[in-house]
Chain A
Amino acid sequence: ETGVTQSPTHLIKTRGQQVTLRCSSQSGHNTVSWYQQALGQGPQFIFQYYREEENGRGNFPPRFSGLQFPNYSSELNVNALELDDSALYLCASSPPGQSYNEQFFGPGTRLTVL
């Protein structure tokens, strides 16, 4: 069974640029959540995708957007990058069924904004 994978591993961008991060969910999982983890902090919920629709969002501005594809993989897009967007971006997938489902995390993408 393949776990959650994310690409790229590391990324360096400059202010004002746009970035796309990718996530492949664990086999059989149809729900994907994205989290932002600043250095020394716990992860913060960005949004969740289920059946290719956003079905929940945290306190992040609209320049953070996403997609989910028919194979349940997902993208996180961030426009007009700011220095404070520098963080580890984590993707987590969950299996179908019950509400209290464990979320399985990928290794993350480390984004640095200069």
Chain B
Amino acid sequence: GESVGLHLPTLSVQEGDNSIINCAYSNSASDYFIWYKQESGKGPQFIIDIRSNMDKRQGQRVTVLLNKTVKHLSLQIAATQPGDSAVYFCAENGLSSGSARQLTFGSGTQLTVLP
């Protein structure tokens, strides 16, 4: 089946530096992608999304880039803060077996912000 995968399982950055988390997907028909942040003991929290008709979208301190040619997306976090330490997932929002849109998650990247 189709899958969404991440390049690196862990990433450590110094506080104040920029972070870049990468994700590869295999379904060329994918048309909607979301980045989630999951802190220990909590459910995933929406960060930012992007549709396939865009190649860049910016939020507050975060930017998502989508490269459909190589089926790759990335999450950039500016001026990383200790509160950004968490597991980050990219997810594809696609159709399930029925009419539902389901999220297909990758395995996640653990971001650790160093003081």
Interface residues of A (CB under 8 A from B): 4, 31, 33, 35, 40-45, 47-48, 50, 54-59, 90, 92, 99-108
Tell me how far the C-beta of A48 lies from the nearest C-beta in chain B, rounded to whole angstroms.
Answer: 4
Is the CB–CB distance between A105 and B107 below 8 Å? no
Is the CB–CB distance between B104 and A102 below 8 Å? no
Interface size on B, residues (CB 8 A): 30
A-B contacts counted at CB < 8 A amount to 78
Given A42-B105, A100-B32, A107 contacting B98 (CB threshold 8 A) = no
User: When chains A and B are docked, how far (Å) is the Cα of A50 from the Cα of B96?
Assistant: 13
Is the CB–CB distance between A45 and B104 below 8 Å? yes
Instruction: Indicate with 1 or 0, residue by residue over B1-28, a CB within 8 angstroms of chain A CB atoms.
Output: 1001000000000000000000000000
User: When chains A and B are docked, how far (Å) is the Cα of A99 from the Cα of B64?
Assistant: 21
B4: chain A residues at CB < 8 Å are: 42
Is the CB–CB distance between A100 and B105 below 8 Å? no
